[in-house]
C-alpha cells in the first residue's frame, strides 16, 4: 500500500473520530450554565431549578432550591429570599446554609408548590414568572391539558356530582338518561368514561381541607375525537358525573362503548330491560 493511500486513510479516520465526538456533544443533555459568584463580592440567594423541568411539570418543593448569585447580576425577574446581599459563605458553611434552606422550606418555595411549567426550565436555571403559571392565572388550563386532549365545560349541580364530592383532579364517568321516544322509553348510557375533572367553576384545586365543592360548571379533559359526544349529550339533556374510585383510574379514557359491548337499561312503563349494544 502506497504512502499516499495510507495518508488518505489516516486523514479519513481522524475526520470520522472528530465527527463522532461532535455528534455526541450535540446529543448530550444540556444544562443551564451556573452564574459563579466571585469570592469576597456581595451575593444574594436566587431560586433555581434543582433538575430539568419540562413543560407541564407540576412544581414540588424538591424541584426548587436556593443558589448564591452575584448581587451585581440581580434583576427584577429573579426570585430572591428577600435577604440583603452578603459575602458568599465558603466551604462547609456554604453547604450547611443551602441544606438548611431546603429543609426549612422558605416562603417562595412553598408559594410556588403546585404551579405548572409552561416553558422548559433547565437545571440550575432561575425560576422566573414568565415560565410558570398557577391555578387561576391566564394560560393555566392550556398548560395542564395533556397532548391530544381538550377542555370542555358541562353544566352540573349537587345532584349530578355525587353531592359535591367530585373535586378537581378526580376521575369520573359521564352518564346520561334520556327519553328515547315512543315505546323505547328512557335510555341510560355511559357517554364517556374515566375522564379527568380539571376544574369546578374557576377552582382548579380544592381549598385547604375542603371535602366538597358546589359549582355550576365542571371542566372535563376529553380526547379531541370525543368532544362531539359531550356537546351532543349536553343538547340531549342532563348528564351525571359518576365518581370513580382512586384505585380504578388506570383504565382507558374515552367513549363508553369503546372496547366491547355496553349495557343499556331501557325503561318501558314500570319495567326495565337491560340490552347489550356495541
Q: Where are the domains of the chain?
A: 42-133, 148-277
pLDDT confidence tier of residue 100, bands split at 50, 70 and 90:
very low
For 10-26, letters b (16+ CB in 10 Å) and e give eeeeeeeeeeeeeeeee
**Whether pLDDT at 127 is above 70:** yes
Angular region, 260: left φ>0, alpha ψ -120 to 50, beta rest: left
pLDDT recorded at residue 208: 73
Strand partners, 154: 218
Mean pLDDT, to the nearest integer, of 226-242?
91
* 47 contact partners, CB below 8 Å, separation of at least 6: 64, 65, 66, 67, 78, 79, 80, 81, 108, 109, 112, 126, 127
pLDDT recorded at residue 260: 43
pLDDT recorded at residue 112: 87
Q: Give the model confidence (pLDDT) of 69-80 as tens digits.
A: 888 888 888 888
Q: Mean pLDDT of all residues in the chain?
A: 78
**Whether pLDDT at 94 is above 80:** no
**Whether pLDDT at 96 is above 50:** no
User: From CA 180, how far away is CA 260, in angstroms rounded?
Assistant: 22
Q: The pTM is what?
A: 0.57
Mean pLDDT, to the nearest integer, of 250-258?
74
**Whether pLDDT at 156 is above 90:** yes
pLDDT recorded at residue 171: 93
Which one-letter DSSP state was computed for residue 181?
Answer: -
Question: How much of the chain, in percent, has pLDDT values that exceed 90?
Answer: 24
pLDDT recorded at residue 276: 58
pLDDT confidence tier of residue 55, bands split at 50, 70 and 90:
confident
Mean pLDDT, to the nearest integer, of 203-228?
88
Is pLDDT larger for residue 108 or for residue 165? 165
* 93 contact partners, CB below 8 Å, separation of at least 6: none
pLDDT recorded at residue 140: 76
Helix (H, G, I), strand (E, B) or coil at 158: coil
Which residue matches cell numbers 384505585? 247
CA distances (Å), 234 to each of 21, 81, 176, 192, 207, in order?
A: 59, 49, 9, 12, 28
pLDDT recorded at residue 263: 58
CATH code that applies to domain 42-133: 3.90.1210.10
Amino acid at each position: 500500500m502506497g504512502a499516499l493511500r495510507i495518508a488518505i486513510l489516516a486523514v479519513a479516520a481522524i475526520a470520522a473520530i472528530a465527527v463522532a465526538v461532535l455528534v455526541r456533544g450535540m446529543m448530550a443533555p444540556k444544562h443551564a450554565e451556573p452564574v459563579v459568584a466571585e469570592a469576597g463580592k456581595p451575593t444574594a440567594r436566587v431560586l433555581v431549578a434543582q433538575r430539568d423541568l419540562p413543560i407541564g411539570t407540576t412544581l414540588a418543593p424538591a424541584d426548587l432550591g436556593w443558589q448564591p448569585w452575584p448581587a451585581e447580576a440581580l434583576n427584577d425577574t429573579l426570585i430572591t429570599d428577600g435577604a440583603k446581599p452578603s459575602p458568599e459563605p465558603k466551604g462547609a458553611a456554604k453547604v450547611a446554609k443551602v441544606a438548611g434552606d431546603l429543609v426549612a422550606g422558605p416562603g417562595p418555595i412553598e408559594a410556588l408548590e403546585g404551579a405548572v411549567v409552561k416553558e422548559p426550565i433547565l437545571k440550575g436555571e432561575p425560576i422566573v414568572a414568565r415560565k410558570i403559571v398557577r391555578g387561576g392565572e391566564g394560560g393555566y388550563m392550556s398548560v395542564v391539558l395533556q397532548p391530544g386532549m381538550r377542555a370542555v365545560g358541562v353544566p352540573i349541580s349537587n345532584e349530578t356530582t355525587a353531592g359535591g364530592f367530585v373535586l378537581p383532579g378526580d376521575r369520573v364517568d359521564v352518564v346520561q338518561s334520556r327519553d328515547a321516544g315512543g315505546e323505547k322509553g328512557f335510555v341510560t348510557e355511559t357517554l364517556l368514561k374515566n375522564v379527568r375533572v380539571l376544574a369546578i367553576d374557576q377552582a382548579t384545586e380544592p381549598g385547604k381541607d375542603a371535602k366538597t365543592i358546589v359549582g355550576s360548571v365542571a371542566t372535563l379533559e376529553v380526547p379531541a375525537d370525543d368532544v362531539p359526544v359531550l356537546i351532543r349529550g349536553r343538547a340531549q339533556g342532563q348528564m351525571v358525573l359518576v365518581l370513580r374510585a382512586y384505585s380504578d383510574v388506570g383504565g382507558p379514557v374515552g367513549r363508553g362503548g369503546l372496547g366491547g359491548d355496553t349495557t343499556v337499561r331501557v325503561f318501558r312503563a314500570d319495567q326495565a330491560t337491560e340490552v347489550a349494544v356495541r
